[in-house]
Amino acid sequence: MDSSDLIWMNGEFLAWEDAKIHVLTHGLHYGTGVFEGVRCYDTELGPAVFRNAEHMERLLRSAELYYMPVPYTAQELQSATRDLVANNNLRSCYIRPIAYRGYGCDGPEPDGRPRRRHDRLLGVGHVFGRGRHDAKASEPRSPHGGASAPDSLIPHAKASGQYLNNVLAKVESMKAGYQEAILLDDHGHVCEGTGENIYIVSAGEIVTPGHHNSILDGITRRSIMQLAADLGYTVVERNIARAEMYLCRGGLHVRHRRRAGARR
């Protein structure tokens, strides 16, 4: 990982090497953390944080779902994110906001008392590279699903503990010579990749699993669906059988092209 000069932690900018946490951090023992992965792109108008508001709102929603009070508003986190990019003099980067329970609790139950270290940290690294990925459907296991199973954890929360299953699937598929795993839901339908939502082209339409398939409500997914619809493609949310992943190919049909400047 490329380091940056500064990390924003508990409201302060710290040098990269000074942003540390205690070994008894609850989030380390029990996975009580929620996080985001945010991209910042270099544009003609300067660095642009992609969907900053949506990411910070989802971070706070994830924290709320796990009863974790975060002492900052989405607006404060957005502005800290912008300052972080500017103070690091970065044009494009990958930002990793994380809110976690700090130390002070012996068991899985947090004691509810506010602790300074219970809030969050924002880190900056550089954008990951892009490339072609060969993927393998992971063996169904319990809990299934990408981020989680619907009847145990909370698929809509982007929570640290929920990713153990994803890590296992990714490592196993890499050991088998692939670059990514495709997670299945508890009925064996395609759910998502270990760190991204999934789409196939079938019968001229873009098909993607729906929320009933235990997916993470991806911010990129929503943007892709909006852009595809604007360009005249049909996007369908439905169950995708594992075998469809092997069979899908062929071109996309354009329903209609929106005229430039047409009103929505």
Ligand X SMILES: Cc1ncc(COP(=O)(O)O)c(C=O)c1O
d(CA 99, CA 118): 7
Binding range to ligand X, per CB under 6 A, among 99-107, 113-121, 125-133, 211-219: 211-219
Which residue do the tokens 């709320």 mark?
Answer: 64
Judged by CB under 6 A, does residue 216 bind ligand X?
Answer: yes
The smaller minimum CB distance to ligand X, of residues 80 and 147, is found at 147
Count interface residues toward ligand X (CB under 6 A): 13
Contacting range for ligand X; rule: CB under 6 A; set: 1-9, 116-124, 131-139, 216-224: 216-224
| Interaction between residue 220 and ligand X (CB under 6 A) | yes
How far, in Å, CA of 210 to CA of 103, rounded?
A: 37
Burial of 234 per CB tally in 10 Å (0-12, 13-18, 19+): middle
Neighbours of 107 (CB within 10 A): 9
Measured from the CB atom, the residue of 6 and 62 that comes closer to ligand X is 62
Residues ≥6 apart with Cβ < 8 Å to 217: 58, 156, 211
Nearer to ligand X, 72 or 163 (CB): 163
Interface characters, 144-183, with ligand X (x: CB under 6 A):
--xx------------------x-----------------
Q: Which residues pair with 205 in a beta bridge?
A: 202
Stretch that binds ligand X, among 7-15, 67-75, 85-93, 191-199 (CB under 6 A): 191-199
Among 138, 197, 213, 214, binds ligand X (CB under 6 A): 197
Look at residues 182, 200, 202 and name the one whose alpha carbon lies nearest to residue 191.
Answer: 182
Instruction: Tell whether residue 210 is a contact of ligand X (CB under 6 A).
Output: no
Residue 36: both structure tokens together: 């985001």
**Minimal distance in Å, beta carbon 123 to ligand X?**
15
Q: Within 26-85, which residues bind ligand X (CB under 6 A)?
A: 37
DSSP letters, 187-234, are TSBEEEESSS---EEETTEEEE--GGGT----HHHHHHHHHHHHTTB-
Residues between 101 and 130 with contacts to ligand X, criterion CB under 6 A: none
Of 4 and 213, nearer to ligand X (C-beta) is 213
Q: Which of these is catalytic: 20, 158, 170, 175? A: 158
| Shortest spacing between CB 154 and ligand X, in angstroms | 13
DSSP letter string over 68-85?
---SS-HHHHHHHHHHHH
Beta bridge partners of 42: 47
Active site residue 158: yes
Catalytic residues: 158
Binding region for ligand X (CB under 6 A): 37, 146-147, 166, 192, 195-197, 216, 218-221
